[in-house]
A and B are shown apart, each in its own frame.
Chain A
Amino acid sequence: MIVPLGHVLLLAAALFLLGAVCAAVRRNLLLVLVGVEVMINAAALAFVGGALRWGRLDGQVFVLFLLAVAAAEVAVGLALLVRGYRGTRSVDSDCYRALRG
């Protein structure tokens, strides 16, 4: 492996931070979903780096599962968003305030 593991992990951490900030500050629920996807891809990058560092395959296998799970999650999330949109006509998180104390 030519690139040191530390550099890969730093890149992955930066990517994760970007995704987390996007998920935390965006009001548009579709962009929150995009942020979550970026977080999961950061995890995949760190897995590939770790697998190369240790010369093991299980990290690479984890990435395959991770991609499948992320796709399933997006499918369910978009379906729920369509269901919510029918009630509120909005994908803005501020429009979902029927449940409060």
Chain B
Amino acid sequence: MAAPWLPELVLALGGLAALGLGAWLRERAAPLLLPLSLAAAAASGALAAAERGYGAFFPVLFCALTAGVLLFAEPYARRRGLLGDEFYGLVLWACLGMVLTASAPSWLTLFLGYELLSLCLYVLVALPKGRLAGEAALKYFFVGAVASGFLAFGIAVLYAATGTLDVAASVADRASAATAAAQPWARLGLALLLAAFGFKLALAPFHLWAPDVYQGAPAPVTALLAAGSKVALFAALLRVACSAGDPLWAVGAPTLALLGTLAVVVGNVGALTQPRAKRLLAYSSVAQTGYLVLALSAVRQGGAAAALFYAVAYSAADLGAFGLLGSLSSPEREGDLDLLADLRGMGATHPWRAAAFSVCLLSLAGFPPAAGFIGKLSIFVAVFRAGFVVHGLVALATTAAAAFVYLRLVRALYALPPEGQPAVFVAPKAALSERVAAAAAVGVVGVLGVAPSLVFSPAARVLWGFLHP
């Protein structure tokens, strides 16, 4: 086919069509919007796969994730009266932003994709009524705005030093006399870019916003924040890491290893004593991003395949965890299920959803046979092979401690409410779409845990297709 931009165009037009239908048909558009949005995501993923083959790994992942978020979000938003055409349009455009960020060969496309994703997410976080969501959106916006300032200035300085907007060319080694004088500027640009990525990925020194924002945002949108936006930024970082020249990589690999270890430690330790479910999952996602960045530091020793695998396993498990948390939350209260104690008794009253939730949590913790176990194992193997033994051991120790965190959450699900005290909040009945999405997330976590070669064997071709669009 001669239309490599078709998958992106389908997403953009899908979002526009959702808004158009809402404007023209008003209430009568409501039953059309979910099928339309799902069809747009599915068509975009299928077109990307047909067009780019293995290179469509990330676009297909994001389209699948978006479909899962839509399935979880429709009943969630309908129960709370938040459902409108703008919701679908923003989710589809956020997906477009993720696809652009992940597959951008040029810093300009990357910047525009990143901004499109961020602007859509700010508004999505602010959708619910009440103070919590408004405050979460403001906190997310101001951190994101400062991060985009860092990103813009980092790209500008790197461009001024190297004279190219091509991502791969600007970080590759070109030791000519003309660029030697600009080396300090190039380094400054890369440092600023790393800070911008750190903010958006919620890596350890830049993670302080994440628990607040995750707590206040509606649960299905949190899934998009945690899985989608992080994996998109991670894909962009993967391109930089794979294209880096030797002098840059000599500094870059230890830096990434240090940042990754720090994020794993801070995330896992921060989650240990957290009494609120969504803040606990926020710290958990800080740690999960840490594993991804650790894998990046070993990208030349087989870390890339491990990172691709872990990105899929993490997205599916986080989508399931946040989606089910939203599904189990009562629409009568502001915000979602908050304290771990509010989850008590869910294992008895909602056995299927509690079981699916537990599977996702155990995968995030890294228990075999779930996908998270294989992912963590292969990441640690690559990290040790790359020579970051101390980093690996520290991360391994806190990973073992973090198993306790996820078990606390599972125990809360299956603990009985105190004697004679009825459950405070009753979870609504599961909608069909929620069941489908939860089954899909659990299916991905389970199947990849048993058959990891589904991602590992094509990983080399995926990486080649990703780096040579």
* A interface with B by C-beta (< 8 Å): 5, 8-9, 12-13, 16, 19-20, 23-24, 29, 32-33, 36, 39-40, 42-47, 49-50, 53-54, 56, 58-59, 61-62, 65-66, 69, 72-73, 76-77, 80-81, 83-84, 86-88, 93, 96, 98-101
Contacts and interface: CB of A to CB of B under 8 A. Distances in A.
A40 B149 contact: yes
A80 B137 contact: yes
A8 B161 CA distance: 12
B163 A80 contact: no
B127 to A, nearest CB: 10
Contact of A20 (B139, B142, B146, B279): B146
A47 B160 contact: yes
Contact of B146 (A23, A46, A58): A23
A46 to B, nearest CB: 4
B131 A88 contact: yes
A-B pairs, top 8 by smallest CB distance, nearest first, are: A50-B160, A39-B149, A46-B156, A43-B152, A54-B163, A87-B131, A43-B156, A43-B153
Interface of B, secondary structure class, is: helix
Contacts of B138: 29, 80-81, 84, 96
Interface stretch (B53-61, B210-218, B247-255, B372-380): B210-218
B276 interface: yes
A69 B115 contact: yes
Contact of A76 (B134, B135, B141, B215): B141
Interface in B112-142: 112, 115, 119, 122-123, 126, 130-132, 134-139, 141-142
Given A9-B185, A69-B112, A100-B212, A43 B155 contact: yes
Contacts of B107: 62
B113 to A, nearest CB: 11
A95 B447 CA distance: 47
B152 A50 contact: no
Nearest to B274: A101
B159 interface: yes
Contact of A9 (B160, B165, B279): B160
B139 A77 contact: no
Which secondary structure dominates where chain A touches chain B?
Answer: helix
B134 A46 contact: no
B165 A62 contact: yes
A54 B160 CA distance: 8
Contact of A50 (B115, B156, B215, B274): B156
B384 interface: no
B108 interface: yes
A59 B347 CA distance: 57
A56 B119 CA distance: 30
B148 interface: yes
A53 B156 CA distance: 13
A12 B157 CA distance: 9
Contact of A96 (B139, B146, B152): B139
26 contacts: A8-B160, A9-B157, A9-B160, A12-B157, A23-B142, A23-B146, A23-B149, A24-B146, A44-B152, A46-B157, A53-B160, A62-B111, A69-B111, A69-B115, A76-B122, A80-B122, A80-B134, A80-B137, A80-B138, A80-B141, A83-B134, A83-B137, A84-B135, A99-B132, A99-B135, A99-B215
Contacts of A42: 153, 156
B177 to A, nearest CB: 15
Contact of A32 (B135, B142, B161, B279): B142
Contacts of A98: 131-132, 135, 216
A49 B115 contact: no
A87 B156 contact: no
B153 A16 contact: yes
A77 B163 contact: no
